[in-house]
């Protein structure tokens, strides 16, 4: 059945809607293309998905489909608009590797 193929491809997150339909059609040429396209649409909707308990999301910007639980968290950096590059005590941040090495020796 093509459900196993769809699960494998959704695990990887390497296919768009069209690419997933194409991959299923390549493996199962006797299927109706519109039926397969509807299936791919349905897996994106938890209400209609035959894959219960695993949501499928579309990734920006290219529209690849992937299981939500396979997305790695992304570190978000929030800039501080009041930070001027110098600490409150006037100390500058350590940027020289040698200074960092000397500083960390005392911490051991």
Q: What is the pLDDT of residues 59-81, one digit of tens each?
A: 999 999 999 999 877 777 777 76
CB neighbours of residue 24 within 10 Å: 23
pLDDT attached to residue 92 = 56
Give the global pTM: 0.65
pLDDT tens for each residue of 2-52: 899 999 999 999 999 999 999 999 999 999 999 999 999 999 999 999 999
For the chain, the three-class secondary structure string (H helix, E strand, C coil) is: CHHHHHHHHHHHCCECHHHHHHHHHHHCCCCCHHHHHHHHHHHCCCCCCCCCCCCEEEECCCCEEEEHHHCCCCCCCCCCCCCCCCCCCCCCCCCCHHHHHHHHHCCC
């Amino acid at each position: 059945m093509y459900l196993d193929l769809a699960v494998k491809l959704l695990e990887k997150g390497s296919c768009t809607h069209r690419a997933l339909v194409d991959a299923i059609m390549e493996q199962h040429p006797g299927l109706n293309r519109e039926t397969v396209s509807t299936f791919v649409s349905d897996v994106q909707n938890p209400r209609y998905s035959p894959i219960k308990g695993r949501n499928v999301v579309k990734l920006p910007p290219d529209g690849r489909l992937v299981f939500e639980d396979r997305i790695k968290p992304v570190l978000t950096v929030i800039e501080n608009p009041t930070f001027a590059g110098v600490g409150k005590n006037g100390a500058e941040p350590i940027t020289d590797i040698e200074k960092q090495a000397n500083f960390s020796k005392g911490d051991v």
